[in-house]
Amino acid sequence: MSGPVRLRFLPIAVLGLALAAGWASADVPATAEGITRPSRRLQLQFSLPGRIEKVEVKPGQPVVAKQVLARQDTSVEEKELDVLRLEAKTDLPLRAARANLDLKRTELERKKKMFDQNVGSEQEYLEAVFAEKVAALNVEKAEQDLKSAEFKFQKQEIRIEQMKLRSPIDGVVERIDIGDGEVADPQKPGITVVQNNPLWVEVFLPTSQSKSLRLGQKLRVRYRDDAGDAGREASVIYLAPVADAASGMQLIRLELANESGRASGLHVSVELPAGAAAAAGASP
């Protein structure tokens, strides 16, 4: 038999008979069938309920990280932000409290001097001491109120930002399940974004072959529907820690660069190294 031998997903008994019959040899590299998957697939949804004002993208559209995919109506929240901005940027209450504190301290100094000179009563002096302490506390409260207003303003800014659905990755819009004018449901995915560069290649191998592989190992991958594909190298990034006991198969995942932007979900052939190919030709 000429050409590379393909190890298809056969029942384990049939696969053993085929291998024993000489479907693979040390001279002919064995190949396994795999499928490309997105390296990331994110189902995005708004964190807050609200009317969707505009969906900014379409299915199949490339997007970049932090790009706005959809946004909710923020008209009410923007008005509230204006109010909070005014409160956060206005220090009039604090300035008034400080001015009152200066006045009370001046009065305290005058009452203390009069008391020391026996021309003022102790009661007047104690009242001045109390008034100065209250004025100092009012300054502290005005300072805290201003900080609280700043925090409320920042919180409202965050809330408005959360009403914009952004892509956390560079990728492609796979699916849109929301539309203009609808009410966003935080419990349901709104837009699905996939990352196809790099791609993942998933392949199932008999454990007799997979045991010879290691993380970081380079394997050559070719697209099955492309006769002229010279193949490219992919790195082993995952060896399933638990093999399937019934079939004796183990999931292997490789990372494949995809600068050309080919779709995921395509069938590929993975050329196995000599050790794995020899294991394929060994008798059960």
Co-location of 274 and 201 in the same domain: yes
Average pLDDT over residues 240-263: 95
pLDDT band at 276 (very low <50, low <70, confident <90, very high): low
pLDDT band at 277 (very low <50, low <70, confident <90, very high): low
Residue 30's pLDDT is 86
Assign residue 56 the CATH number of its domain.
2.40.50.100
Q: Show the CA angle centred on residue 142, arms to residues 139 and 144, nearest 5°.
A: 110
Co-location of 119 and 249 in the same domain: no
Q: Checking phi first, is residue 278 left (phi over 0); if not, alpha (psi -120 to 50) or beta?
A: alpha
Q: Judge whether residue 253 has pLDDT over 80.
A: yes
Average pLDDT over residues 124-139: 96
Give the C-alpha distances (Å, rounded to integers) separating 72 from 44, 48, 50, 155.
14, 9, 6, 17
Give the C-alpha distances (Å, rounded to integers) separating 141 from 87, 136, 150, 154, 229.
15, 9, 14, 20, 73
Residue 51's pLDDT is 96
Which of 115, 147, 162 corresponds to the end of one domain? 162
Nearest to 6 by CA among 283, 246, 224, 243: 224
Full domain range(s) for residue 153: 75-162
Co-location of 196 and 270 in the same domain: yes
Residue 120's pLDDT is 86
pLDDT band at 228 (very low <50, low <70, confident <90, very high): confident
What six digits make up the tokens of 100?
A: 């009152």
More confident residue, 279 or 260: 260
Co-location of 134 and 208 in the same domain: no
Summarize pLDDT for 33-44 with one digit per residue, the tens.
Answer: 999 999 999 999
Question: Residue 141 corresponds to which amino acid?
Answer: K
Residue 177's pLDDT is 97
Q: Which of 94-98, 143-147, 225-229 has the lowest mean pLDDT?
A: 225-229
Residue 226's pLDDT is 80
The answer to whether residues 196 and 39 touch, using CB atoms and an 8 Å cutoff, is yes
Give the C-alpha distances (Å, rounded to integers) separating 178 from 111, 160, 183, 194.
71, 19, 9, 17
Co-location of 49 and 186 in the same domain: yes
- Please list, in sequence order, all residues whose beta carbon lies within 8 angstroms of the beta carbon of residue 11, skipping any fewer than 6 positions away: 247
pLDDT band at 9 (very low <50, low <70, confident <90, very high): very low
Residue 229's pLDDT is 77
Co-location of 277 and 196 in the same domain: yes
Which of 190, 207, 241 corresponds to the end of one domain? 190
Co-location of 118 and 142 in the same domain: yes
> CA 111 from chain center: how many Å?
65
Average pLDDT over residues 214-231: 89
Number of domains in the chain: 3
Co-location of 207 and 87 in the same domain: no
Co-location of 48 and 184 in the same domain: yes
Co-location of 231 and 130 in the same domain: no
Co-location of 84 and 35 in the same domain: no
Co-location of 38 and 91 in the same domain: no
